[in-house]
Amino acid sequence: MSPVLVRILALSLLLAFAFNSVMMLVVALVGWNPGTLTLKDLFGAGVFEARGSDWLWILLLWGFALLQSCLLQLPLPVTSVLGGKTPLGPRVLAAAFLGGLFIAIPLLASVDLYYLSADPNGFDERPYIIGALAVWVASWLIWTPILLHRSRGQADAVERFVGKNIAGSAVGLALCLPWYFVLRRKQSCFCGLGTFWALVLGLWSLLVIGGPLLFVLAKDRRIRAGVREG
């Protein structure tokens, strides 16, 4: 096994636990209920007791951690720096994920429009939230080949796409906040609100995907500038 692969796998395991901690902190922050945050949840100790469907969340979290590990460990392809046709791999996957987030935030928030027009006691938000998440995944799959194509001809295509989507997602989250705090007064279980999931998943995605991606893209820009000057 190559040293690079070992480093990627080792870092992905550490990142998976870090991503879980960030998720628990975001849930406690958005839910405004720090009492629900335990050290066991914060440090991911529950993974040793996982069973059945619990592994779906664990594998999904590790998948994102593996993506970020590749993003941080794999260098910018030399041919891309020199104007070749090599795609940007993990950078494109992470950027396409943020493109789906930009669409998912208003969709998740719009779930609460149905909540207002329905009987709160009999309202089942799960189909609507699952539908919004399905659109997010579909958008991710659609944006990936588009960005792969653009990245072959435009060195900064991914960076510009990420910048616009992070800015748009941040505005969407800011608009969700007042809507969420108004609705949670009417709903005893705020975890059933679409705006709750929009804020939780949006903040988590921007922190663990958007933040490192911006750092890597800024580093790529310096590499390209150095090659041009050299």
| pLDDT tens digits along 2-13 | 788 898 899 999
pLDDT tier at 17, thresholds 50, 70, 90: very high
Please report the pLDDT score of residue 75 as a whole number: 66
Query: Which token pair is 42?
Result: 């914060």
Q: What is the mean pLDDT of residues 44-53?
A: 78
Kindly list the domain boundaries of the chain, sorted by start residue.
1-74, 83-230
Q: Please give the model's pTM, rounded to 2 decimal places.
A: 0.82
Pick the more confident residue, 218 or 100.
Answer: 100
* pLDDT for 68 beyond 80: yes
* pLDDT for 65 beyond 70: yes
Average pLDDT along the chain: 82
Please report the pLDDT score of residue 46 as a whole number: 78
Lowest mean pLDDT of 99-103, 136-140, 185-189, name the range: 185-189
Residue partners of 29: CB distance under 8 A and separation at least 6: 203
Please report the pLDDT score of residue 76 as a whole number: 59
Pick the more confident residue, 18 or 47.
Answer: 18
Instruction: Give the closest residue to 62 by CA, choosing from 20, 1, 104, 93.
Output: 20
pLDDT over 90, % of the chain: 29
43-52, 142-151, 182-191, range with greatest mean pLDDT: 142-151
* pLDDT for 82 beyond 60: no
pLDDT in tens, 140-167: 999 999 998 888 777 688 889 999 999 9
Residue partners of 148: CB distance under 8 A and separation at least 6: 87, 88, 92
Please report the pLDDT score of residue 187 as a whole number: 66
- Quote the CA–CA distance of 88 and 155 in Å, as a whole number: 9
- Quote the CA–CA distance of 20 and 55 in Å, as a whole number: 13
Quick check: 91 and 158 in contact, CB under 8 A?
A: yes
pLDDT tier at 220, thresholds 50, 70, 90: confident
Q: What is the mean pLDDT of residues 125-144?
A: 89
In the chain, % helix, strand, coil (3-state, to 5) comes to: 80, 0, 20
pLDDT over 70, % of the chain: 82
